[in-house]
Structure 1
Amino acid sequence: MTAPAPSPGTPAVTALGGGHGLYASLSALRLMSDRLTAVVTVADDGGSSGRLREELDVLPPGDLRMALAALCDDSDWGRTWSDLLQHRFVSGGSLDKHAIGNLMIVALWELLGDTVTGLDWVGKLLGARGRVLPMASVPLVVEADVRRDAAPVRETVVGQSRVALTDGRIEQLRLVPADPPACPEAVEAVRSADWVVLGPGSWYSSVLVHLLVPELARALHETDARVCVTLNLAAERGETQGLTATDHLEALHRHAPGLRVDAVLADPSAVEDVDELAAAAEAMGARLLMRQVRRGDGSARHDALRLAAAYRDVFEGVYGDV
């Protein structure tokens, strides 16, 4: 089974993130380009992924699985295999809450002895419109310095699942190990892209962590690709509770002050002060693009078609208000 050849003239896009946020961006990007690469966080320590990571000493497969499912071929074949990847067992035993795709991915890693090759084989099975890669070659631990209310002393929160749910203000983010080996194919995907898309997603635990892998961060700073930051539709309970859209952008700038950003994409319903956000974007060298990308049901979820149209405007330089 071979993937279809990329269409000439479509942009090469590398999307960074994890979980439901990366699933949203990939679900949109696949509608406008088949030259896609997903670079996925590997710091998950909860649920099925965390159990497999601890028991078998492997990369947590869950976010990688979700990215593959987002890129599956839009056919009965692709949709069926995507549904199988996402299916979770419900039982009173040790298989409870395990996703079949997590088990499949880890089994391929054991059989083939190579992480990237295993992910490529799953992509072939799905007819995936793109490639899925880990951001690092080893599993990572996220640490965050958190200040709760007006407490004079910062608390260190350890683990992606705990950082995501913290009720304090995150001031600084770290990875353990601090200098992990980046996935070489992921670094090359950033360097060779036309566009790099950062976000949406859990801002600290899934998005900003990519900037803490030194070799990947270097590629992001040095690439000729243009960079689009996609802001979330709402602050999340936990790590970004109470943060404005501008706060999200300033957190990015704080963790990567030298990163050049070309475009910031936001939904008007998620922006408290448009002028303030535009000024923050301009300070990073970016233009702000306001587009309605939320689903029509009012939920804090992206509509794939609307988001795809917004990305097309970003890539083609159509920045007027719509």
Structure 2
Amino acid sequence: MRPLAQSAVALGGGHGLHASLSALRKLHDELTLDQVTAVVTVADNGGSSGRLRGEFGVLPPGDLRMALAALCGDDEWGRTWADVVQHRFAGEGDMNGHVIGNLLIVGLWERLGDHVSALDWVGRLLGARGRVLPMALTPLDITAQVRGLAGGDVPTTVRGQVEVATTEGIISSVALDPADPVACPEAVQAVLDADWVVLGPGSWFTSVIPHLLVPELRDALVSTRARVMVVLNLEEQPGETQGYAPEDHLAALMEHAPELTVHTVLADTRTVTDHDVLQGAVASYDARLVVADVADPAAGARHDPDLLAKAYEQILTGE
């Protein structure tokens, strides 16, 4: 049996990364892992994050905030701070829709002038069981080549994370603007030093694949000694992966980084409609397929952190 992994890096954004980090944090608490790092996409242009990005020229803080909340402990301190940083203001004034955690992060960025140091300070305040890092140090825009818009088959360029995520066409590829953003050095080093790297789940074209488009981060993902695990989504996502089967998600990922070496692909039992087809697709990349119950029984479209933690532990320990 392979020794227990000592460190894991999870890449993504939004609710998918939140679920993955919540699972990895449980393994940290159980001493299966002694280090957990999140590397978070920074292309959001909607909601509170988009407003703060537009007004202050900062990285969008929302996905970073969610990652920090996911790493909060299950004790009273952790639960309280997780709720506080996730609190969204109501009302009808200028604060409507803003999130406390977003404001805290942006305030520390302004005060300290350093993205990573500020996030580390927020993590210390929250008692986070791990570290949260941006994938790049400048705000990014996602662009996509989309077919089927306006009734035609000629690809149309769609710009913006929200716009790409909600497009009614068929996405054939995505890119970043700028195309060669400066990667966060600490994120690159974390990937190089990790025992395991976890890609997904999450919005496939706007949260997962963008990490493979940052040149320095992509090089690290390709050259790392870590074993790469791809966690497939539970269902197709209207606007991004409409009509996608599990094997289609994997194919789209590999089309954007064909040199990536994948060790394990994790899929939920109920989403695998044709095991032989998925098994063949996974085997074509010299990876192994693990099928387990990881969906939330009460909300089948989301991963259950407890079930995901169980699956992760079995994979990480080789059981």
Asked whether the two chains share a fold, i.e. TM above 0.5, the reply is yes
User: Equivalent residue for 1:12?
Assistant: 7
Residue 258 of structure 1, CA deviation = 0.7
Residue 316 of structure 1, CA deviation = 2.0
Residue 267 of structure 1, CA deviation = 0.4
Over the matched positions of the two proteins, sequence identity in percent amounts to 60
User: Equivalent residue for 2:315?
Assistant: 314
Residue 312 of structure 1, CA deviation = 1.0
SS of residue in 1 equivalent to 2:26: coil
| Cα contact 1:10–1:35 (8 A) shared by 2 | no
State the AA in 2 paired with 1:178: A
User: Equivalent residue for 1:74?
Assistant: 74
The 1-side partners of 2:219 and 2:298 are apart by 40
* 2:86 is the alignment partner of 1:101: no
* 2:176 is the alignment partner of 1:175: yes
User: Equivalent residue for 2:214?
Assistant: 213
Residue 293 of structure 1, CA deviation = 0.6
RMSD over aligned Cα atoms: 1.3
* 2:35 is the alignment partner of 1:29: no
Greater CA deviation, 289-298 or 106-115? 289-298
State the AA in 1 paired with 2:208: V
Residue 255 of structure 1, CA deviation = 0.4
State the AA in 2 paired with 1:111: R
The 1-side partners of 2:291 and 2:189 are apart by 30
1:27-75 CA deviation, whole Å, 9 max, x = no partner? Answer: 1111112410000000000000000000000000000000000001221
| Cα contact 2:53–2:60 (8 A) shared by 1 | yes
| Cα contact 1:167–1:241 (8 A) shared by 2 | no
User: Equivalent residue for 2:200?
Assistant: 199
Residue 9 of structure 1, CA deviation = 5.5
| Cα contact 1:199–1:230 (8 A) shared by 2 | yes
| Cα contact 1:119–1:132 (8 A) shared by 2 | yes
SS of residue in 2 equivalent to 1:277: helix
| Cα contact 1:259–1:284 (8 A) shared by 2 | no
State the AA in 1 paired with 2:281: A
| Cα contact 1:16–1:199 (8 A) shared by 2 | yes
- Number of paired residues? 311
The 1-side partners of 2:81 and 2:24 are apart by 20
SS of residue in 2 equivalent to 1:220: helix
TM alignment of 1:1-322, pairs within 5 A: 11-33=6-28, 34-148=34-148, 151-318=152-319
Residue 298 of structure 1, CA deviation = 4.8
Gaps of at least 5 residues in structure 2 are 29-33
SS of residue in 2 equivalent to 1:13: strand
1:83-134 CA deviation, whole Å, 9 max, x = no partner? Answer: 1100000011111000000000000001111000000000000110000000
| Cα contact 1:227–1:260 (8 A) shared by 2 | yes
1:213-237 CA deviation, whole Å, 9 max, x = no partner? Answer: 0000000000000000000111112
User: Equivalent residue for 1:3?
Assistant: none
Residue 176 of structure 1, CA deviation = 0.2
State the AA in 2 paired with 1:212: L
SS of residue in 1 equivalent to 2:81: helix
Residue 10 of structure 1, CA deviation = 5.0
Residue 152 of structure 1, CA deviation = 2.6
1:262-311 CA deviation, whole Å, 9 max, x = no partner? Answer: 00000021122111111111111210000001112252111111100101
Divergent runs of 4+, >3 A: none
The 1-side partners of 2:269 and 2:145 are apart by 31
The 1-side partners of 2:171 and 2:273 are apart by 21
| Cα contact 2:147–2:170 (8 A) shared by 1 | yes
Report the TM-score when normalising by structure 1. 0.94
Greater CA deviation, 170-179 or 274-283? 274-283
Greater CA deviation, 17-26 or 275-284? 275-284
The 2-side partners of 1:152 and 1:94 are apart by 42
Greater CA deviation, 307-316 or 207-216? 307-316
Greater CA deviation, 291-300 or 133-142? 291-300
State the AA in 1 paired with 2:132: V
State the AA in 2 paired with 1:43: A
State the AA in 2 paired with 1:194: D
The 1-side partners of 2:291 and 2:117 are apart by 39
